[in-house]
Structure 1
Amino acid sequence: MMEPSSAQINPYVVSGVVSLAAFIELLDTTIANVALSHIAGSLGAGTEESTWVLTAYIISNAIVMPISGWLSGVMGRKNFFMLCIGGFVFTSFMCGIATSLPMLVLFRLLQGVAGGGLQPVQQAIIRDSFPPEKLGIAFGITGLSMVLAPIIGPTLGGFITDNYSWRWIFLINVPIGIVTMFLVKVLVQGPENTKKVKGTIDYIGLGLIAIGLGALQIVLDKGQQEDWFDSTFIITLACISFISLLLAVYWLLRQKDPIVDLKLLAIPSFSLPGIILFFVGFTLWSATSLLPMMVQEDFGYNATLSGLVLSPSAIFPLFMMPFVGKLVNWIEARYLMSLGLFINAIGMWLTGLVTPQTDYATFAIARCFQTAGLPFLFVPATTLAFSRIPREKSSNASAIVSLLRNLGGSIGISLATSILVHNRQMEQSNLVQHLTIASDGYSSLLSAYTRTMQNIGLPAAEASAKAMGQIYQQLLHQASVLAYRDTFNSVAAMLFVLGITALFLPGKNRYTKNNREDA
């Protein structure tokens, strides 16, 4: 079968095809979150053990992502992309039929390896399919996969888990992946006028990156559970990660053809947007993690309903991404990014107004504001990051950008969870101080509850104890809600400061004639 030449294929079609592959990979980073209790029960494992279903994927994904540019050069970008899709389909199938937790964790680890190259290669293909002046529109359309997948993931995962079986959250990837692989084979072409990387594998660089990022991801994922640096395990892994990554930077900067081209970070128009994309991941993933936890723990939502709190927030990015893609040609990127950060800050602040009486509609509206600023962040930052990157460096640049965004997500989840736990302890301590006989509110509530218990036939002493227990449960509930409020407000303050900082980024980042010629 003769493949059409790249000139005969609409670049928007190519972008849609490669974005579908990235979409299913990103979907799997959140789709399993709401199904952990079902997985644990089905496979006879504990809840803590089941979290390795998430951790294994994140760790292996993070290790492969930065070296995907080098692997694309060794194997050819299209060949590597198709291999990643094929591997992702196979491992998804094996996850779906897993008969034990160790088997599931093993294939989630391999699924992360296969999926690690999909996001970077997707962006590299898009970058090379469009002229520089149209990159904003291209990334505006294809960036939908980056924003929508984490939003849709919990909703889809909850619906599948509650109505069918957790196994289908993995098996659903198989038919979609097969169709995507066929479309990539027919429609996507390899880059022209580029040479494949030759030479032996840099085992030292690869090993240092694998150890450093693997240890870092475990620290971020297990830090709160192990009480952070009060744990010898976390301290040891943190030291291993720091030393390994420090040595990796030293080693890679001295190589002629490194597996990760860190010298790209010396380009301000690449490194500064990369930092913004780090906070895109931070914002998106921390909020996506906290909100379903809150409505399930403190408001009694099931997996499906907690996912539906997130799903309406996909509407605004869906329509705004292409529009913002056009704006980057007319408005400086720093202003758009600052606007996005301010909008997201407002969304976090609105969520921080939650009370025990807050209803579904209020949660959904606040969540919509949380994601409304993402198009103004993702599109300008991604477009600017690739504006001065030579085509032969697209794969390496994409790998670094994807890693920064995903690391932002991991750090965002860990930091937000740590702040939440600390705030919960502080709020409980503050509320307990008011549970004294000297407090008129506590005394009257205790008397009312005690009388209610006595009216159903309980002895006075038992009725008093039950009443105190009921009040304490209310205290825990209120302390938890207040802790979530404090946490969302902390993230809002952070985003507000970043919004001001973004205004001081270098200007003149629009696609002027000179920029197009330089690119």
Structure 2
Amino acid sequence: MSAAAAVVDDGRAGAGHVNPWLIAILVSLAVFMEVLDTTVANVVLPYIAGDMGVGADEATWVVTTYLVANAVSLTASPYLARALGRRTFFLACLALFTISSALCAEAWSLQSLLVFRLMQGLAGGGMVPVSQSILADSFPPEKRGQAFALFGVAVVVAPIVGPTLGGWLADTISWRWCFQINGPVGLVTMALIAAVLREPAGAVAERKRARRESRFDGVGFVLVATFLGSLEIALDRGLEDDWFGSTFIITVVAICATAFALMIPWEMTRRDPMIDVRMVASRHFGACFLVMGATGAVMYATTQFMPQMVQQLYGYTATWAGLVLSPGGVVTMAMMVVVGALSNRIQPKYLIVAGALLTALSMLRLTSTYADAGFWFFANSRNLLGAGLPLIFLPIMTASYDGIPAARTDMASALINASRNTGGSIGVSFAANILAHRSQMHQSRLVEHVAPSSPQLQEAMRRATDAFVAQGSAPGHAHEQAFAWIAGQVETQAAYLAYIDVFWVLMIVSLALVPLALSLRSVKLGGGMAMAH
């Protein structure tokens, strides 16, 4: 029986008589755009700040507003998908995302850009989990692993392509093109999805039943959105605002803690909760939730800090910093195909263990970063990561649906994607704090060895002074230049050591996935992952 025919029998799928792979390609393309915009703005913030006439700290709100809106809309997406229908809701999100992307490209001030990024984040947060549910229902269980492989390419490769594409567009054309390119792609994708995606009778009946039997958990939505939104703000702004030295951060953290404390008992006692806390508390799905969060932390932290490191310490341009990640993206795409085939033969928990070990090996390799490291040292380290992430990402998506009733697939998608996004924010924030504090610590330790009476320092000062004199500087000025040069060397060495510390921590996070993965239950392979009806 063909994939298309198999899913028609289910009565709920969106493929109908259309080849489900066409739907998978179109849905994955839309998701690729959304996830791309999570990282594409990171490398162009200096360009935005210069163009808008604002400071670098103000420009970071371009990223923060998107993440906050994304987190908030994730919480409402299961209910809205049930109430409106997945097809209608998905197309509405894609339309809003396309329109807001075009508006971002035409923004005339930072305030207008933030409003449009807010719209973009709201649309994107609803689009990703629903697309995952569409795939789960459009393919029979034995084909889901391969379908999720295509989806995984979009989710894992897009953050890698983002810095490369954003850097190249900003360097050669304008930062505005980072958003403008979404317009034509979004319009074409929207038209094709509207033409091929259908909502069969089973799904329509389910939606009507959901409208009668379920109610919107307004209080839960406010609590969950407040918790996730304030958490995103605290994580993204904490380091820049000096954490608990800032009244603003203290206030945001207090709001976050209060919302969380109220959210748990409220959601535990609702018949139709906004977030199914019991699902997260279950052993199997809870382990999937934690694995996806840790994977998001490693993926987003490395995607941000590898380009940052090569720009800061090796003088790479934004374009070349992005290109360091590109070979890893090619490896990831190839591995998605391999893992999609393996997922029908090998238990997800064993694939995740293999992926965690490869990811840890990649981080271990980066701890040996040295001053003369070339492009391929970093690219090959990223290649190892590119091979490891699909081995984690695809099996955990597949395993997370095991035993989940068909009516709860939207909730499962929302929770898994919220875990990935929140884990990514935590990983970036945690890595940034390690980098800042360990840089200060290493610098203070290195300075202890730069005593004026040290023969080594005196010899270094003499040689540096002679070098600056040879370049035409006056002796007194050359001495000052030599001292500044040595101070710069100390600062650079401290930065090297701090980045190495970041990679050590990310390696430990990767290894922590091993016991989590082994705690997952075995699933029946080759079609045994059908959701309970």
TM-score of Structure 1 vs Structure 2, range by shorter chain: over 0.9
Contact between 2:62 and 2:113, CA under 8 Å: does it hold in 1? Answer: yes
1:391 Cα offset (Å): 1.6
State the partner residue of 1:233: 248
Counterpart CA distance in 1 for 2:296 and 2:400 is 16
Contact between 1:132 and 1:387, CA under 8 Å: does it hold in 2? Answer: no
Q: Please, which of 438, 441, 448 is the counterpart of residue 426 of structure 1?
A: 441
Change (3 A) 1:457 1:306: closer
Q: Which range moved further: 354-363 or 169-178? A: 354-363
Matched to 1:149, the amino acid is: A
- Map 1:269-308 onto structure 2 (within 5 A): 269-308=284-323
State the partner residue of 2:501: 486
Change (3 A) 1:41 1:494: same
Counterpart CA distance in 1 for 2:414 and 2:14 is 26
Q: Please, which of 158, 182, 198 is the counterpart of residue 189 of structure 1?
A: 198
Matched to 1:504, the amino acid is: L
Counterpart CA distance in 2 for 1:167 and 1:459 is 46
Change (3 A) 1:496 1:202: closer
Matched to 1:109, the amino acid is: L
Q: Compute the TM-score of the two structures, normalised by the length of structure 1.
A: 0.95
Matched to 1:389, the amino acid is: I
Q: Which range moved further: 21-30 or 134-143? A: 134-143
Q: Please, which of 68, 92, 101 is the counterpart of residue 110 of structure 2?
A: 101
Counterpart CA distance in 1 for 2:349 and 2:207 is 35
Counterpart CA distance in 1 for 2:531 and 2:271 is 27
Change (3 A) 1:513 1:175: closer
State the partner residue of 1:117: 126
Is 2:27 the counterpart of 1:18? Answer: yes
Is 2:522 the counterpart of 1:502? Answer: no
- Map 1:311-390 onto structure 2 (within 5 A): 311-390=326-405
Q: Please, which of 387, 399, 414 is the counterpart of residue 399 of structure 1?
A: 414
Contact between 1:332 and 1:507, CA under 8 Å: does it hold in 2? Answer: no
1:511 Cα offset (Å): 2.2
Q: Which range moved further: 401-410 or 439-448? A: 439-448
Q: Which range moved further: 459-468 or 8-17? A: 459-468
Deviations 1:8-64 (A, max 9, x none): 111111111111111100000011111111111111111111111111101011110
Change (3 A) 1:206 1:497: closer
Secondary structure of the structure 1 residue equivalent to 2:510: helix
Contact between 2:141 and 2:528, CA under 8 Å: does it hold in 1? Answer: no
Deviations 1:84-138 (A, max 9, x none): 0000011111100011111101110111111111110110001111122222121
Change (3 A) 1:181 1:455: closer
Q: Please, which of 231, 238, 257 is the counterpart of residue 272 of structure 2?
A: 257
Change (3 A) 1:518 1:52: closer
1:454 Cα offset (Å): 3.6
Counterpart CA distance in 1 for 2:326 and 2:28 is 20
Q: Please, which of 60, 65, 69 is the counterpart of residue 56 of structure 1?
A: 65
Counterpart CA distance in 1 for 2:332 and 2:520 is 26
Deviations 1:284-325 (A, max 9, x none): 001001101111111111111111011110111111112212
Matched to 1:173, the amino acid is: N
Change (3 A) 1:206 1:426: same
1:266 Cα offset (Å): 4.4
Matched to 2:458, the amino acid is: S
Q: How large is the RMSD of aligned CA atoms in angstroms? A: 1.9
Is 2:451 the counterpart of 1:436? Answer: yes
Matched to 1:32, the amino acid is: A
1:513 Cα offset (Å): 6.7
Matched to 2:525, the amino acid is: Y
Counterpart CA distance in 1 for 2:330 and 2:528 is 36
State the partner residue of 2:283: 268
Secondary structure of the structure 1 residue equivalent to 2:135: helix
Q: Percent identity?
A: 38
Matched to 2:502, the amino acid is: T
Matched to 1:36, the amino acid is: L
Counterpart CA distance in 2 for 1:311 and 1:441 is 42
Change (3 A) 1:456 1:338: closer
Contact between 2:142 and 2:528, CA under 8 Å: does it hold in 1? Answer: no
Counterpart CA distance in 2 for 1:102 and 1:27 is 22
Contact between 2:71 and 2:125, CA under 8 Å: does it hold in 1? Answer: yes
Change (3 A) 1:30 1:456: closer
Change (3 A) 1:258 1:393: same
Secondary structure of the structure 2 residue equivalent to 1:6: coil
Contact between 2:355 and 2:391, CA under 8 Å: does it hold in 1? Answer: yes
Secondary structure of the structure 1 residue equivalent to 2:241: coil
Change (3 A) 1:132 1:451: same
Counterpart CA distance in 1 for 2:362 and 2:49 is 34
1:510 Cα offset (Å): 4.0
Counterpart CA distance in 2 for 1:456 and 1:321 is 54
Counterpart CA distance in 2 for 1:437 and 1:229 is 37
Contact between 2:83 and 2:207, CA under 8 Å: does it hold in 1? Answer: no
1:189 Cα offset (Å): 2.1
Matched to 1:10, the amino acid is: N
Structure 1, unpaired ranges of 5+: none
Counterpart CA distance in 1 for 2:528 and 2:86 is 29
1:259 Cα offset (Å): 2.6
State the partner residue of 1:27: 36
Q: Which range moved further: 329-338 or 175-184? A: 329-338
Deviations 1:458-484 (A, max 9, x none): 454433222111111111111111211
State the partner residue of 2:9: none
State the partner residue of 2:96: 87
Deviations 1:313-368 (A, max 9, x none): 01111111122122222222211111111101111111121112111111111111
Counterpart CA distance in 2 for 1:508 and 1:210 is 34
Change (3 A) 1:355 1:404: same
Q: Compute the TM-score of the two structures, normalised by the length of structure 2.
A: 0.93
Contact between 2:350 and 2:518, CA under 8 Å: does it hold in 1? Answer: no
Q: Which range moved further: 71-80 or 4-13? A: 4-13
Change (3 A) 1:96 1:513: closer
Counterpart CA distance in 2 for 1:512 and 1:269 is 19
Matched to 1:130, the amino acid is: F
Q: Please, which of 111, 136, 143 is the counterpart of residue 152 of structure 2?
A: 143
Q: Please, which of 61, 72, 76 is the counterpart of residue 81 of structure 2?
A: 72
Is 2:258 the counterpart of 1:208? Answer: no
Counterpart CA distance in 1 for 2:255 and 2:372 is 46
1:517 Cα offset (Å): 8.1
1:514 Cα offset (Å): 5.9
Is 2:480 the counterpart of 1:465? Answer: yes
